[in-house]
Amino acid sequence: MIPHIRRATAADAPVATAITRAAYLPWVPIIGREPGPMSADLAASAEAGVLWIAEDDGTAVGVLVLVPHPDHLLLESVAVAPDAQGRGIGSALLRFADEQAAAAGLPEVRLYTHERMTTNIRRYERHGYRETHRAREDGFQRVFLTKRIVPQAKSASGADE
């Protein structure tokens, strides 16, 4: 499935928060606390223009937070509504992140995840990410990954700005 991906507005923050919390909830007992994205201020992310919503037939099914830096695009969070998982939405969001980095002329996408989120680490590796290091940050034992991107002049994503 290829969802429609658009930049979020402040009005999207409540549904983005609900999707994010629901998607990350199964990890709480595994890592022993709420993952960072569960308490993120997605209204502020929307206001900053870094929050994206994936929709299927007009219904929000995924959330992506992409923060540009001078030398990379930080994929701060990706979440898919539990009832929409397994339909390729997460993969579409990861491809979208690649496209956004390429369109911005950035050479890589970086992300981090908790070291106990091993299925996510394997998923990112299948999408071309490679582990760069591990470190304790903000009270979490994190795995840092990066993916090299070939910069392009223009995104082919068709996303709405």
What is the spatial distance between Cα 90 and Cα 120, in angstroms, rounded to a whole number? 11
Report the first-to-last Cα separation within the chain, whole angstroms.
21
Residue 67 lies in a domain: yes
- Domain containing residue 52: 4-111
Q: Does residue 146 fall inside a structural domain?
A: no
* pLDDT tens digits for range 21-39: 999 999 999 999 999 999 9
pLDDT digits (tens, 9 = 90+) for 65-113: 999 999 999 999 999 999 999 999 999 999 999 999 999 999 999 999 9
Q: Is residue 133 part of a domain?
A: no
pLDDT tens-digit series, residues 114-127: 999 999 999 999 99
Cα 146 from chain centre? 13
Structural domain includes residue 147:
no
pLDDT at 159 over 70: no
- 3-class SS of residue 119: helix
State the CATH number of the domain containing residue 27: 3.40.630.30
Count of domains observed in the chain? 1
- pLDDT band at residue 155 using 50, 70 and 90 as cut-offs: very low
Cβ(81)–Cβ(54) under 8 Å? no
Question: Region 42-71: what's the mean pLDDT?
Answer: 97
pLDDT of res. 98: 96
Q: Is residue 74 part of a domain?
A: yes
